[in-house]
Amino acid sequence: MLHSSRRLRVLTWHVHGNYLYYLTQAPHEFYLVTKPGNPPGYAGANGVLPWGGNVHEVDIDQVASEEFDVVLYQHRQHWEHDRERVLSAAQRRLPRVYVEHDPPMENPYEQRHWVDDPDTLLVHVTPFNRLMWECGATPTRVIEHGVVVPEGVRYVGEHERGIVVVNHLAQRGRRLGVDVFNKMRSRVPLDLVGMDAQSCGGIGEIGNLELAGFIARYRFFFNPIRWTSLGLAIVEAMTIGMPIVGLATTELSTVIRNGENGFIHTDPDLLADAMQLLLRDPSLARVLGENARRTARERFHIDRFVQDWHEALTQVTA
């Protein structure tokens, strides 16, 4: 249960739309830095997501003249550039949090995080990410995902195919598993959705609010990604009751249990066998999907996520 406290004025940026939407379920006022034309990182509260009345926009040229209680950074550009050139000197001294959405990309176990500040709280979105980053003296905390799916959307699974949800898969290559996807597609019927999915023979982008209902018809969700955080699309799929199949890498290896709520392995051939099993046995897919939904409700419930963020923000501003 949220402890009563004043509503904080949180300055932040639009980096990952769905994550920001879930973050703004916390009982505080969020101010998004914007630029004309809404370029990446400065998009504000645009798009189709049903932003609440606690989400506001502030033009980048007006930021320094506004008052905030805490600054929540979400990207290296904002930490290294905007912190020095957009914020006022007083705002740079405010309580600050940096949420790191990814594992280290340059070296999987030796890369030092650019936030090197004992007075900044560095929030990781998975325990795996915190394990892999070298954070030095910067205090860290893990706040795992929490998601919301449209009311009434539940897994159906009548479509005898698997669904893959990855943005710009062709462009992002091996890290996101384009080779794994192509290999699996030769053995198992798979559809791909996401930005520029057509470059890999996929369907294309599905809107945020329609995605859960769209994928609910598929027999299973397949994740080909080698190296990333735990994708929100996976958690959303679990929340509607879909079984998950994926590589046993990064945080996913702690979420999926073989034969219980899905299948994971480092051998793609064994994953292809598991997917074919789910195609042959829809009743098994339904059982695994229900267990996946139970896992999601226990570990990734939006109420827990909101409570964790509420505590983090109130503690740094205490």
9-146+301-316 CATH: 3.40.50
CA distance 146 to 297: 9
DSSP code string of the chain: -PPP-PPPEEEE--SSHHHHHHHTTSSSEEEEEE-TT--TT---S-SSS---TTEEEEETTTGGGS--SEEEE-SHHIIIIIHHHTS-HHHHTS-EEEEE-S--SS-TTTPBPS---TTEEEEESSHHHHHHSB-TTS-EEE----B---TT------EEEEEEE-TTHHHHHHHHTHHHHHHHHTTS-EEEESTTGGGGT--B---HHHHHHHHTTEEEEEE--SSSS--HHHHHHHHHT--EEEES-GGGGGT--BTTTEEEES-HHHHHHHHHHHHH-HHHHHHHHHHHHHHHHHHSBHHHHHHHHHHHHHHHT-
The per-residue pLDDT for 53 is: 97
- Calculate what percentage of the chain has a pLDDT beyond 90: 97
The per-residue pLDDT for 5 is: 72
pLDDT band (50, 70, 90) for residue 11: very high
Do 9-146+301-316 and 159-299 have matching folds? yes
Both tokens assigned to 251: 């945080």
The per-residue pLDDT for 1 is: 58
Domain definitions of the chain by residue range: 9-146+301-316, 159-299
Residue 258: pLDDT over 60: yes
Residue 233: pLDDT over 70: yes
Count CB neighbours of 139 within 10 A: 13
Length of the chain: 318
Contact 181, 268 (CB under 8 A): no
Q: What is the pLDDT of residues 150-194, one digit of tens each?
A: 999 999 999 999 999 999 999 999 999 999 999 999 999 999 999
CA angle 76, 197, 265 (to 5 degrees): 80
Count CB neighbours of 166 within 10 A: 26
pLDDT band (50, 70, 90) for residue 47: confident
pTM, rounded to two decimals: 0.95
Q: Does domain 159-299 match CATH 3.40.50.2000?
A: yes
pLDDT band (50, 70, 90) for residue 68: very high
